Every structure is written in C-alpha cells, then in structure tokens.
C-alpha cells in the first residue's frame, strides 16, 4: 500500500441523475466534452493528477494548495462561460471540495480519510462553487488575495470529528490570465512525461455507439492517470500537441468497432516524431460491455507505462 500526503480535490455534477433521465446520451456527451476541453486541461496546467474517475465525479491530487485552489476556481469560471451558451435545461454545474490529507493507493484504487473529507466537503459546496477545509484555508493564508465565507464547523457523514469549512467567493477571486477560459494548448508546469490521448474513434457506423467509444476513452485515461510519471491530457484527434517547454511527449490513438456482440479495439502509441513505438489489437467475444471497458482500462495503461519507460531510457 502506497501512502502520500496530498491536496485532494473532489468534484461532481449537480443533479446528474436528473440530467441523465432527461437525455442520457446528450448528458454523457456533454460531460465528456466538459472534461476533455476544460477540466482535464485545467488539472494538467495546474500540475494536478486525476487519481480516480467516479461516474460524474473525479478525485484529483495536487502538490500545492495554491494550484488546487486556482484550478478549482478556473474550472468554475470556465463552466459559467460554457453554460452561458447552453439551453437552461442542459446546463451542467459542478460542486468542488478541497482538503489536505493522506491518499492510500492499493490495487488500483484510492482510499483514505483525506479523500472522505474532501468528498463530504464537496457535497456542502454550492452549485458552481468551491468549499475548502480549514487546513486548506489556513495553509493558503492571504497569498492569493481570495475572500472566503466562513460557514463554521460542520458535522460530516461518517466523519467522527467536526470539520471547519469555508466557501470561496468566486466573484471576487482574480484568476491569473494563464488560467482563464478554455485553452487549446495549456502551459504544462510539471516535469512529468506528457501523454496525449485522442478520443477513441467509433468505426461501427452507428452513432449510438459513440457513448461506448467515449466510455472506453474515459476508463483508459483514468487508468493512465494513476501513473505518477505521466501527465495525461485528452485531445481531439490530430490536434497539434506542440509544447516547446517539454522535452518529449507521446500520443495514444485508438478506434472501436462493434458488430453485434463482438468488439474490436485498436490502440497505438507514437512519440514526438510520429514514430510508432507500440500498437495492439484487442478482440472480445459476446461479453458484457463493462467487462470490455474494465479489461482495456487495465491492459492498455499497463502496456503503455512499460513502453514509455523503455522509450525514455
């Protein structure tokens, strides 16, 4: 079991079940777009690492409190801009909670009191808002010039001790220009190897299978994000991934073809010069589609981690 002290950000969608009931496919597509174009971008540009995706939510680990808070505010600002152009019944809002605590990694999953507190604090946040524990508030101090609303000690579900919670007043918070809006090429601060993942292409000829290809992409990205040496960003196919500050980057591309109960998935890894360094074909018989996604979320990240380490050496 691996244990790390981290700044933990928990986020999920407000009223996700209601949105899915109204339009399941449209809601999933919108969530994937928000993640790919905003959340993943902001997490990477603030030196964060997605450690777990949970349906409509995510857990992200940061090294510094300032990065976590800046990232959360930038995400909520970005969602306001995106919702401004969406129909009122299709707008999506996130709640975000931030805490400092231990992360325990075991068998591909993450645990710990710090995770539980972050999740409970997130549930107290206002729709479109950010709530933080007193450990985050006190560590940050006045360094970012943010104003906080003190909502006092809170009794959190399944947490024995009361936790003092603060809300960030986002309207009075200044986000640095480098973190405003949606950027196609964010500045990556980390020294970790950069891996771009393009959304797996649906080759089935059936638009209804788009959600399946999106689900595979999401699960593979979640598996890859567990490797601490990788900085994973989801991109549109063939987007220009030019990052002059980085020594090397890699790109994972894939396709999904589903005919009846059979599924074929192709995946390939290329380096910065476009040279193929790994490719694999996965064939599945008539089994549950979630089993397919679970298997790919294990096998592809494991293979890529080895190949990227070999290429770096």
On whether the CB atoms of residues 209 and 238 are closer than 8 A, the answer is: no
Check residue 245 and give its pLDDT. Answer: 43
Domain spans, the chain: 2-179, 193-312
- Beta-bridged to residue 259, according to DSSP, are 262
The CATH classification number of 193-312 equals: 3.40.50.11830
Report mean pLDDT in 10-residue bins for the chain, 313 residues: 80 90 85 86 84 84 91 94 85 94 73 84 92 91 85 82 89 50 46 77 77 77 73 60 53 86 88 85 78 81 82 76
DSSP state string for 219-282: HHHHHHTT-TTEEEEEE-TT-----TT-S-EEEEEEEEEEETTEEEEEEEEE-TT--EEEEEEE
* E strands, the chain, in order: 2-13, 49-54, 57-62, 94-106, 109-111, 130-133, 148-154, 163-168, 193-198, 201-202, 230-235, 249-259, 262-270, 276-284
pTM of structure: 0.63
Backbone angles phi, psi at 230, to 5 degrees: -115, 140
Check residue 208 and give its pLDDT. Answer: 66
The CATH classification number of 2-179 equals: 3.30.70.1230
Check residue 99 and give its pLDDT. Answer: 93
Residue for token pair 């976590």: 68
């Amino acid at each position: 079991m691996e244990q790390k002290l981290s700044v933990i950000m928990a986020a999920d969608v407000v009223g996700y079940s209601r949105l899915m009931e109204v339009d399941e496919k449209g809601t999933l597509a919108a969530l994937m777009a928000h993640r790919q174009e905003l959340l993943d971008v902001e997490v990477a540009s603030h030196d964060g690492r997605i450690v777990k995706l949970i349906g409509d939510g995510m857990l992200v680990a940061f090294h510094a409190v300032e990065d976590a808070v800046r990232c959360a505010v930038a995400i909520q600002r970005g969602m306001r801009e995106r919702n401004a152009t969406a129909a009122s019944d299709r707008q999506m809002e996130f709640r975000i909670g931030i805490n400092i605590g231990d992360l325990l990694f075991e068998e591909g999953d993450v645990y710990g009191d710090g995770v539980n507190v972050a999740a409970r604090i997130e549930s107290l946040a206002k729709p479109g808002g950010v709530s933080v524990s007193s450990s985050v508030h006190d560590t940050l101090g006045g360094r970012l010039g943010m104003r906080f609303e003190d909502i006092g000690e809170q009794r959190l579900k399944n947490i024995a001790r009361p936790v003092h919670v603060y809300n960030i007043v986002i309207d009075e918070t200044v986000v640095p220009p480098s973190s405003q809006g949606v950027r196609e090429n964010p500045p990556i601060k980390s020294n970790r190897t950069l891996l771009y993942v393009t959304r797996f292409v649906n080759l089935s000829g059936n638009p209804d299978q788009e959600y399946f290809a999106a689900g595979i992409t999401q699960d593979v990205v979640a598996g890859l994000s567990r490797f601490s040496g990788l900085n994973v960003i989801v991109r549109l196919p063939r987007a220009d991934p030019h990052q002059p500050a980085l020594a090397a980057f890699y790109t994972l591309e894939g396709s999904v073809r589903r005919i009846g109960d059979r599924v074929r998935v192709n995946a390939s890894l290329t380096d910065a010069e476009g040279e193929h360094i790994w490719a694999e074909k996965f064939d599945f018989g008539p089994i549950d589609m979630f089993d397919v996604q679970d298997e790919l979320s294990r096998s592809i990240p494991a293979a890529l981690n080895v190949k990227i380490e070999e290429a770096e050496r």
